[in-house]
Chains A and B, each alone.
Chain A
Amino acid sequence: MARIEILNPAEHGDLRVDMSRTVARHHMVPVLANELGALAVDYPIVLTKNPETGQFVLFALVGLEAGENLFLDADGRWGEGYVPLDIQRGPFIAVRGKEEGQGAIGLDRDHPAIGEKDGAAIFAASEGGPALIEAVRPIVSKAMSGIAPTQKLIEILTEHDLLRAGQIEYSRRDEPRKVTGFYTVDVQAVARLSDAQLGALNRQGMLYALHLLAASLGNVRKLIVRV
């Protein structure tokens, strides 16, 4: 479990954060509805179920087996392609502030990017640039504002019964492999919605999101060639 503290100079002024070490080695990265446009040109976007609640969660596939990220370069950095907000934000996360209705930036103290030697100080300005906190603030803010539309999108997908179990078959070192346990948008089910439903989805900006999800599945091929 992450250990989250509300960020403040008194407690965290001495910490340093190496933002190049933010990449966790997972084959699925949680993503948000307000970054779909950037994601959809690089990665297949799918849904899986939270094993504890059965609720759907939106993910970008960056690998085809546990622990595999096919987009990392030799140094373990995100080599090419859009970097999802969940990676960009590093150890920083939006939390509820001390006062009602107020937001604040939190820090995950157990995040591997945090140390006392390498990286940049959080609050002090570095040579020729603003403090790390200034660079992080808009990312955290964007991640925060993506939560509600992501929930809305998932609600639409389940309410209109638009998801189907997906499956990827490929070969690794000439061995046939199968990836299951994820769900994708059924475009035919989208097409069967009534004009009124489609109109409402379009006005909510969600119809485009559904098509981005469907189109992103073409990126499965890009994953397979990288294996």
Chain B
Amino acid sequence: MSHPVRKVVIVGGGTAGWITAGTLAAMSRAADEQPLQITLVESPNVPIIGVGEGTWPTMRRTLRRMGIRETDFIRECQATFKQGAKFSRWVTGADDDYYYHPLVLPQGYFEQNLAPYWLANSNGASFSQQVCAQEDLCEAGLAPKKITTAEYEALANYAYHLDAGKFADFIRRHCVEKLGVEHVLADMTGVVARENGDIAAIETAQAGAIEGDLFVDCTGMRSLLLGGHFKVPFKSCKDVLFIDRALAVQVPYPDENAPVASHTISTAQKVGWIWDIGLQNRRGTGHVYSSAHSTDEAAEQRMRAYVREIGGDPDQLSMRLINIEPGHREKFWAGNCVAVGLSAGFLEPLEASAILLIEIAAQFVGEQMPATREAMDVVARRYNDTFLYRWDRIIDFLKLHYILSQREDDAFWIDNRHPETIPDSLAEAMALWRHQPPWHDDFDRAVEVFPAASYQYVLYGMGFATAPHPRGLSPDVARRSEQLLARKEAESRALLAELPANRELLGKIAQYGMARV
């Protein structure tokens, strides 16, 4: 006899819990005659972590799939447009040292690799500035679209910055009111196991036992189901990525019309780096560092200096210290339980991978939702393969930023370049890229987290030298490359002339809203 999957129980109600609930509910309602019954159990006593405030462009698809109006999201989550990240002082530490990792792909990305031409002809010009228009837009403080652009559509690819606390609450209301998700406020006290180790039900203090066919562990770093019940071990990657502390502080704008940056700003420090995310009403900033290389006091001094630099008064602001254990579980799906969010693992927020991982996890589970318990083990094995690959690629990509730095001002930077701290997969890729630039074939999975373009932006943004190709470039490739670079220049000029300032567009959205078409 087979056991159909009809009811999903999500334990935990932060960003991970609600994105998973909304995604699974929306996908099942679109596909199934009898949609899944989805219950989210949330403790009334455990606050959400809520430091993940930067997304990827995937969030547009995630919100749209749930049937959320972009106007409502922007208005209710203090959300702003993000067009990538600006990395300051990562290479040499000098004041004018910066590069961009934009969200727009290099011009003609699917027809022609521009890196070889750029390498041969750059004369020191910035790669990201030459191959895509977005750096110009970010430097000018412009929005990625106009008030006449439809919801979720873009003139320049974009993601969001958002207030994580407001965001979880916003999606909760949508899930409960529009998508039929059952919301139970109760503290989990234990697990009722089946003979095979599966979870039959969770026990709660306020709502008794709650049964389900599939359980999603969104309990945060405590990982109560996957780590607690299934005892799946945690695999630290602190030997590769040293950062284990975050000091977060919210900084108000000097006035309500102050410009809002349309990119994340990451500024390297003596030890670690500081993130700076502009929301509508405040900047979310924070310093991540390695406790092996810096005291908490020294880190606080650096954070205070940064706050003063951007016009805030550190004496008036409270700072929150968070301990981070970088790494992930050895697998993410065990028995009838899959972990999504911090319960699966955590990495420093250098490339905003936290919310992205939640989205792609929820999408995978939704798309491959097992029909029966009997089908589940196969799906689980594929899920684990896919996500172990994805975590490894993210770890490689984050490490890439550190090994390309030339900073010598602290052992933190020097230790980060030590060969023993570099994963073999990254070392191998670097050996290849010394002779030829990254391109599509270097990444063999159908759904890569970071495309070759991202590696190009970081490698060449940080001054990495790929040797000139011994066989050179044909006149045809050179001509097409020149055409693409000229097209980028024309696109830049047109967009610079027509796009509004980021703050101006946010004001118009608050006042008039955006249309669906």
Contact = CB atoms under 8 A, between A and B. Distances in A.
B23 to A, nearest CB: 22
B515 interface: yes
Interface in A15-37: none
B431 interface: no
Contacts of A82: none
B268 to A, nearest CB: 39
A52 B147 contact: yes
B516 interface: yes
B516 A158 contact: yes
B148 A54 contact: yes
Interface string B347-361: 000000000000000
Contact of B517 (A51, A52, A55, A183): A183
A49 B516 contact: no
Interface in B477-517: 508, 511-517
Interface in A150-167: 158, 161, 163-165
A83 to B, nearest CB: 29
B307 to A, nearest CB: 36
A56 B147 CA distance: 11
Contacts of B517: 161, 163-165, 183
B508 A53 contact: yes
Contact of A163 (B147, B511, B514, B515): B515
Contacts of B515: 49, 54, 56, 158, 163
Contacts of B513: 54
Interface string B451-495: 000000000000000000000000000000000000000000000
A50 B512 CA distance: 11
Nearest to B512: A53
A49 B508 CA distance: 13
Interface string A133-163: 0000000000000000000000000100101
Interface string A39-83: 000000000011111111000000000000000000000000000
A67 B380 CA distance: 63
B516 A53 contact: no
A100 B514 CA distance: 33
Contacts of B514: 54
B3 to A, nearest CB: 37
Contacts of A49: 147-148, 515
Q: Which of B512, B515, B517 has the most CB of A within 10 A?
A: B517
Contacts of A163: 515-517
Nearest to B500: A52
A184 to B, nearest CB: 10
Contacts of A164: 517
B516 A54 contact: no
Contact of B147 (A54, A158, A161, A183): A54
Nearest to A186: B517
A217 to B, nearest CB: 16
Contacts of A50: 148
A183 B516 CA distance: 11
Contacts of B148: 49-51, 54
Interface in B415-437: none
Nearest to A55: B512
Interface string B143-183: 00011101000000000000000000000000000000000
A53 B504 CA distance: 11
Nearest to B150: A165
A72 B264 CA distance: 54
B178 to A, nearest CB: 15
Contacts of A56: 515
Nearest to A184: B517
Interface string B361-373: 0000000000000
Contacts of B511: 53
Contact of B516 (A52, A55, A161): A161
A4 B85 CA distance: 49
A176 B276 CA distance: 49
A137 B364 CA distance: 65
A124 B139 CA distance: 62
Nearest to A165: B517
A138 B62 CA distance: 53
Nearest to A48: B148
A50 B146 CA distance: 11
Contacts of A52: 147, 508
Contacts of A161: 516-517
Contacts of A54: 146-148, 508, 512-515
A94 to B, nearest CB: 24
A199 to B, nearest CB: 23
B66 to A, nearest CB: 16
The 10 nearest A-B residue pairs measured at CB: A54-B147, A49-B148, A53-B512, A54-B148, A163-B517, A161-B516, A54-B512, A55-B512, A165-B517, A164-B517
5 contacts: A49-B148, A51-B148, A52-B147, A53-B512, A54-B512
Given A53-B147, A53-B512, 16 more contacts: A49-B515, A50-B148, A51-B146, A51-B147, A52-B147, A52-B508, A53-B511, A54-B148, A54-B512, A54-B514, A54-B515, A161-B516, A163-B515, A163-B517, A164-B517, A165-B517
